[in-house]
Amino acid sequence: MNGATTTGWSLRIADAVGGAYDRLAMIDSREPSPTLDANWLAWVTANLGGPPGRAQQAADAARDAIVSGNGLNAAMAAATNRWVESGQGQKPFWEMTFWGVMSRRPGWVFALVVVFAQVLWFIPLGWIAAVALTPLPLAAAVWNVYVAYRLSNHGVVAPGVLVDVTVKDSEGDIYVGTYQWHFHGPHLITHVGSTPRDVLILFDPVYPRDAIVINRSLSTSR
């Protein structure tokens, strides 16, 4: 998961969506000032979004990092971490609900296999196939239900950055996007299909590998 450095992530964020802001203006002084606060609030609002209170908390975290002498990269990371943590429980997307998460994961496929296997009990000697087909798909289905429960009830979101797109030619082009997000370190996730640039990553803060990509253009939070 840690395929990139924090520095690389921060610079990519700044170049991709924050390039209009003068980096030197954000780190010009290690003393708190209205200008420092305003610059970071503008950066958070443009790059992370969210309700004003949440944006202010993230900006305050970035300012504190700068005042402590930690530098621009650490300030961006602090802002994003605070933005993620303060957003827990907010669900501006249907995809963040239990059924929304389930629709984005393969759990329903495993459930269908289990249902099909039970039908085999009514066929002569079909119990052999039913017994063989049930345990692993059932375990996978239960695991996906658990992950959907965790994400819908305890998941948080972070802004994702599209870092790579590959094209697989299999009876037509299939696009696979690789997104990076930051939560106490960088993480990566791949997404098959459309590759929008403005996305949020819904993930479990305890198990960040359990995550889904949400197209942010459908957001009601910005």
pLDDT tens digit string along 145-181? 999 999 988 887 777 888 988 887 766 678 888 998 8
Kindly state whether residue 1 falls inside one of the protein's structural domains: no
Stated length of the chain: 222
- Looking at the fold, whether 122 and 170 belong to one and the same domain comes out as no
Residue burial 67-93, b: 16+ Cβ < 10 Å; e: rest: eeebebbbbbbbbbbbbbbbbeeebbb
Residue 17's Cβ-count burial label (10 Å; 0-12, 13-18, 19+) is: middle
Residue with tokens 């375990």: 139
Residue 218: predicted pLDDT: 63
pTM equals: 0.62
Domain boundary among 32, 51, 86: 86
The residue among 174, 197, 15 whose CA lies nearest residue 214 is 197
Element at 219 (helix H, strand E) = none
Kindly state whether residue 210 falls inside one of the protein's structural domains: yes
pLDDT score of 5 more than 70: no
- Looking at the fold, whether 56 and 21 belong to one and the same domain comes out as yes
Residue 78: predicted pLDDT: 83
Residue 143: predicted pLDDT: 93
pLDDT score of 200 more than 90: no
Q: pLDDT for 81-116, tens place per residue?
A: 788 777 665 555 677 788 888 888 888 888 898 889
Number of domains in the chain: 3
Domain boundary among 151, 182, 203: 151
- Ranges 11-25, 175-189, 207-221, most confident: 175-189
Residue 147: predicted pLDDT: 93
pLDDT score of 7 more than 50: no
Distance CA 119, CA 121 (A): 5
- Looking at the fold, whether 112 and 136 belong to one and the same domain comes out as yes
The residue among 199, 194, 206 whose CA lies nearest residue 158 is 199
pLDDT-derived band at 27 (thresholds 50, 70, 90) equals low
Q: In which domain, by residue range, is 81 found?
A: 6-86
Kindly state whether residue 196 falls inside one of the protein's structural domains: yes
CA distances from 116 to 52, 111, 126, 152 (A): 50, 9, 11, 28
Residue 145: predicted pLDDT: 92
pLDDT score of 117 more than 80: yes
Q: pLDDT for 42-89, tens place per residue?
A: 888 877 777 888 889 989 998 898 888 877 777 877 887 788 777 665
- Looking at the fold, whether 165 and 136 belong to one and the same domain comes out as no
